[in-house]
Amino acid sequence: MLQSKLLSKTLRESPKDEVSQNAILLTRAGYVDKLMAGVYSYLPLGLRVLNKIKQIIRQEMNALGAQEILMPALTPKEIWVKSGNWSKIDVLFKLKGSGDKDYALGATHEEVVTPLVKKFAASYRDLPAAVYQIQDKFRDEPRAKSGLLRGREFSMKDLYSFHASETDLEEFYQKAMQAYFNVFTRCGLKARLVEASGGTFSKYSHEFQVLTESGEDNIVVCNQCDFAQNTEICSLKVGVPCPKCGQGVQLVKAIEVGNIFKLMTKFTKAFDYQYVDEGGKRQPVLMGCYGIGPSRIMGAVAEICQDAKGLIWPAALTPFHAHLLLLDASKKKQADQLYQDLIAAGYDLLYDDRLESAGFKLKDADLIGINIQLIVGEKAGDQVEYRFRNDSAKGKADFNQVVKLLEKEYVQ
């Protein structure tokens, strides 16, 4: 991709109406554009990152044996009334269509998925069943804030599992938990499993929290063991002994990036979903649900992976494998050739071919934060200078060495 053609423009100054770091940096670097409070457009750079996150999630969900589907975002009032959530979910976006018909925009999809799976998985032979989708969710938050972290429309991967027995649900729940850890690790985040309330769903749930000062959630954690609880259910005071290992607990801030629940029969009862067992008897179906917010992961990574110069994308999420910078116009042929050759070798490059000063391009590249910078200029002669944005390595290399470098970083 030629940067001269890329639809985005970096901003020297922070947008006036953003305070959160993720919104400031993603806006300044040209990844997103705010349409209204809590609602963002993803520009080409931002969409690439978002898609990489979604792809990682897809791989982990597929490995779990879940099948990807896509449900509608526009839903009829009736299903929400049936579950009781028409009045219980206060952030539900409700709207009227012609003929005065009531609709809701999907804030979650139990109401759609439960009757859906019921149609196709009526026998014990069909269970367990697990389906997921990646779709935008709509929640009428009383106060959207913190950039991508709390929006009114945001990307969500929601997985639902259906089981014939509690042990089967438990087994899947554990596997899903591991898959979630895999997702966060691959996205460059250290997530912590935290016990939390289940909201209107179930008594307790597990959240995946990324510890950072810029988080919105308060959690009580033990540094010695894996004990962690959200303050919404935790009554422990700072410094008191950990109920699990006896060491002192502390209060920290965190960003919630995932949440899993055992719903048991809450929705299968509401939608009268039972399966037929080996003996021909009808039995209750047990259900679990598992959510991850790709856009929130993007916000969390932007919040954490940055320095004074700009963003620093982890290798797995970088919008392009490398950012090629032409700093000396007289070497355009060399840079063009490198660009063509690396594309031919299968890599995604952003090529800064603009007629801008060297300093301008270097500043821009640091702000955008692509994992590796490849610089063609006078310093490296016929070679190319490479630099990892996270400062882990830099040097000079010829074409073959650059290919090896990229291979090592991106091809496993």
Q: Which residues bind RNA (CB under 7 A)?
A: 9-20, 28, 34, 36-38, 85, 88-91, 107-108, 110, 141-146, 150, 197-201, 205, 216, 259, 261, 263, 289, 291, 309, 327-329, 355-360, 362-364, 366-367, 375-380, 385, 387
Beta strands in 24-78 (DSSP E): 32-36, 39-42, 67-68, 74-76
Residues 183, 52 contacting (CB under 8 angstroms): no
Amino acid residing at 179 = A
Q: Which is nearer to RNA, 125 or 394 (CB)?
A: 394
Q: Which is nearer to RNA, 107 or 176 (CB)?
A: 107
Which is nearest to 326 in space by CA: 307, 354, 300, 302? Answer: 354
Round to the nearest angstrom and report the end-to-end CA distance of the chain.
24
Q: Which is nearer to RNA, 341 or 378 (CB)?
A: 378
Smallest separation (angstroms) from RNA to the CB of 144: 6
Smallest separation (angstroms) from RNA to the CB of 277: 27
Residues 166, 288 contacting (CB under 8 angstroms): no
Smallest separation (angstroms) from RNA to the CB of 208: 13
Place of tokens 């919630």: 256
Smallest separation (angstroms) from RNA to the CB of 130: 15
Report the distance separating Cα 201 and Cα 290, nearest Å. Answer: 12
Smallest separation (angstroms) from RNA to the CB of 185: 22
Smallest separation (angstroms) from RNA to the CB of 250: 18
For the chain, what is the total number of helices (H) and then of strands (E)? 11, 23
Smallest separation (angstroms) from RNA to the CB of 4: 10
Q: What are phi and psi of 361, to 5 degrees?
A: -70, -40
Q: How many CA atoms lie within 13 A of 283 on its CB side?
A: 20
Which is nearest to 378 in space by CA: 333, 332, 327? Answer: 327
Smallest separation (angstroms) from RNA to the CB of 152: 9
Q: Which is nearer to RNA, 198 or 277 (CB)?
A: 198
Q: Which is nearer to RNA, 52 or 310 (CB)?
A: 310
Q: Which is nearer to RNA, 171 or 378 (CB)?
A: 378
DSSP string, 93-135: EEEE-GGG-EEEE-S--HHHHHHHHHHH--BGGG-SEEEEEEE
Report the distance separating Cα 196 and Cα 249, nearest Å. Answer: 16
Smallest separation (angstroms) from RNA to the CB of 247: 27
Q: Which is nearer to RNA, 221 or 287 (CB)?
A: 287
Q: Which is nearer to RNA, 5 or 379 (CB)?
A: 379
* 297 Rama class: left (phi>0) / alpha (psi -120 to 50) / beta: alpha
Q: Which is nearer to RNA, 14 or 182 (CB)?
A: 14
Find the helix packing angle between 44-64 and 166-186, rounded to 10°: 150
